[in-house]
Structure 1
Amino acid sequence: MKKLKSYLGWKTDFTVPAGERAYAAPDSISWKVFKNPIALAVGGVAAVLLEFADARIRSGVWDHSVFKTDPIGRSQRTGMAAMVGVYGPASAARRVIQGVTNMHARVGGKTPSGEDYKALDVELLDWVSATAGYGFLTAYDRFVKPVSYEDRCRFYEEGVEVAKLYGVENPLRKPEDFDAMLAHLLPRFEPHPINTEFLDIIKSGQAARNVPTALHRALANASVSILPAEVRERLELGPDYDLSFAGRQAVKLAGKVADRTPIKGSPPADAAIRLGLPWSFAWKGDAAKRRILSEAAHRDVQAAAE
């Protein structure tokens, strides 16, 4: 029996309905980035650190989710929601995102300093969306393959429609948009023990016990290394989190190997099957992808003519 991917109780089969498109196209930068588990791991941790820099988001997650008891599981479920937005059939993505929005509508409270917050505050929604895009893209660029400015803009544009489904009003469209948002929020950022506790959990290897602990430590420090310098300074993540030369090389090697190692049953593999493409499509080179898509379009035209 096929094991369905799950997010907060919503079961998603990425192989059906046959032919239903995702919000990101098969030849998109998003399909290229999100297939890489190293980019997702490094970028995901960096995104959490950027979010937790703001006391309103940190309090919302800490007080209204299972993060403090199951940070790995919560992070993995968040990652699966991102996968649905990139690879899932559009109808499933809308269903999951509406469920997340309904849940967030009940989240609100006060920070330890007494400031009110609501999870559906537009400023917070914008920042959470921005941190995810920045984290995944920057991790891919630094540790897998360099991404041109034009492709960075493409990546952000590809995520606009899904971001708006979450209620984001100012989605990233270019790298400068992230810089501007960061400059606006930076004065609010502050260090907190939750950040170091989270990084210690990542370094411990709980997320994947079959991976050497040394690589987990390198992945955690790699996440810190892609934070903007001013954010790292404000969070007081000092020399203990420096990424060594050996650690950098290990993460890069893992990222490059992952980028050319197809994984059967993964969301990108199942999404390709749903669209009538080879299951390993996401891992193929750009030239091969163009050929496959051209052949698929030709078959569609022939079928329509018959």
Structure 2
Amino acid sequence: MNEHASITKPATRTYQKSTTPTKIDFTRPEGEEAICAPGSMHWRIFKNSIAMGIGGVAAVLLEFADARIRSGVWDHSVYPVDPIGRSQRTGMAAMLGVYGPKSMAQRVIGGVNRMHAKVAGETPNGEKYTAQDPELLDWVSATAQYGFLTAYDRFVHKLSEEEKLDYWTGGDEIAKLYGVTEIPHSEADFLVMMERLVPRFEPHQINSDFLEIVSSGKARPQIPAFIHRALARAAVDILPPIVREKLDLGPEWNLSLPERLMVKFIGRQADKKVDTESPAYQAALRLGLPGNTAWQ
């Protein structure tokens, strides 16, 4: 069996230990600014768990389309044995970059970069890769930008061109901390970057296994499985058509009209619900602002 054949196959490799804390107190230290300012589009979008979930799944699919990234994640992280935990830590790192105290964000991102410096290997076809390859760093950052924005625009609230521009240009400082050198400032820029990589994209069992895990609802079993399936299909729905074609994600991943309406409903409801335990709420308190700042 190909070593990458199944995401649930027991692994015997030594994995890089994550440097991202699983729990962060966003209320401390009092008064310390975040990299992204309150009132920014990043504060607005990242508070929405539905947009983040859909966008995050889409970003992973866009990344795993390239064998170098897929192999790097598979061979050097806990992803094969703990995809949910790994995804949750990645999400926490994203929240820290937007809402966390700037000094902590810089420190944790520095740790991530040092960990990535140790990641190198070969794809099953023998192509060498490193996690610090500028092309791969740029693509991983761009997929997150595209995924979160597109999910919010498609399933929460339609954004104006000015709002989209504010988002595309508002994350430069975070991206540069990760070593990103090419930062798209529009969807058109993102698609130009994607077109250079598209010839590399290929279907793989890992993509299907990943979507099946998302659909299963193992991450949040208290939520009905049919909602998880709809969210997974929503993630496929926002992929550029050529990517979906390259990944061979067929009609079984089509988002039906009832599912689309349901996802939009829960996305908008999530945008209204003020969560006092969320990074957005706690970060506002740290800055001496009303907790619901990101919801205003």
Tell me whether the two structures share a fold, i.e. TM-score over 0.5.
Answer: yes
Identity of aligned residues (%): 59
1:94 maps onto 2:106 in alignment: yes
- Cα distance in structure 1, aligned partners of 2:73 and 2:257: 34
- Cα distance in structure 2, aligned partners of 1:7 and 1:201: 24
> Structure 2 residue aligned with 1:69, among 52, 77, 81?
81
Report the secondary structure of 1:127's partner residue: helix
1:13 maps onto 2:25 in alignment: yes
Contact in 2 for aligned 1:160/1:173 (Cα 8 Å): no
Instruction: Show the 5 A alignment for 1:21-36.
Output: 21-36=33-48
- Cα distance in structure 2, aligned partners of 1:221 and 1:12: 31
Give the equivalent residue in structure 1 for 2:15.
none
The TM-score with structure 1 as length reference comes to 0.89
Q: CA RMSD, aligned part only?
A: 1.1
Report the secondary structure of 2:129's partner residue: strand
Inter-CA distance 7–109: structure 2 relative to 1 (3 Å threshold): closer
CA shift for structure 1 position 11:
5.3
Give the equivalent residue in structure 2 for 1:198.
210
Give the equivalent residue in structure 2 for 1:53.
65
Instruction: Show the 5 A alignment for 1:117-196.
Output: 117-196=129-208
Contact in 1 for aligned 2:72/2:119 (Cα 8 Å): yes
Size of the aligned set, in residue pairs, is 279
- Point out the structure with the larger helix share: 1
Report the secondary structure of 1:117's partner residue: strand
The TM-score with structure 2 as length reference comes to 0.92
Contact in 1 for aligned 2:19/2:112 (Cα 8 Å): no
Q: Which consecutive unaligned segments of at least 5 residues does structure 2 have? A: 1-17
- Cα distance in structure 1, aligned partners of 2:287 and 2:116: 32
- Cα distance in structure 1, aligned partners of 2:288 and 2:97: 19
CA shift for structure 1 position 9:
3.8
- Cα distance in structure 2, aligned partners of 1:257 and 1:104: 37
Deviations 1:219-240, CA, capped at 9 Å, x for gaps: 0000000000000000000100
- Cα distance in structure 1, aligned partners of 2:288 and 2:138: 35
Give the equivalent residue in structure 2 for 1:298.
none
- Cα distance in structure 2, aligned partners of 1:10 and 1:236: 34
CA shift for structure 1 position 155:
0.5
Contact in 2 for aligned 1:12/1:92 (Cα 8 Å): no
Deviations 1:14-54, CA, capped at 9 Å, x for gaps: 11121111111111000010000000000000000000000
Q: Which has the larger radius of gyration?
A: 1
Contact in 2 for aligned 1:19/1:274 (Cα 8 Å): yes
- Cα distance in structure 2, aligned partners of 1:11 and 1:232: 35
Instruction: Show the 5 A alignment for 1:132-281.
Output: 132-281=144-293
Inter-CA distance 142–7: structure 2 relative to 1 (3 Å threshold): farther
Moved over 2 A (4+): 6-12
Q: Which consecutive unaligned segments of at least 5 residues does structure 1 have? A: 1-5, 285-306
- Cα distance in structure 1, aligned partners of 2:132 and 2:120: 9
Contact in 2 for aligned 1:17/1:89 (Cα 8 Å): yes
Q: Which amino acid aligns with 1:217?
A: R
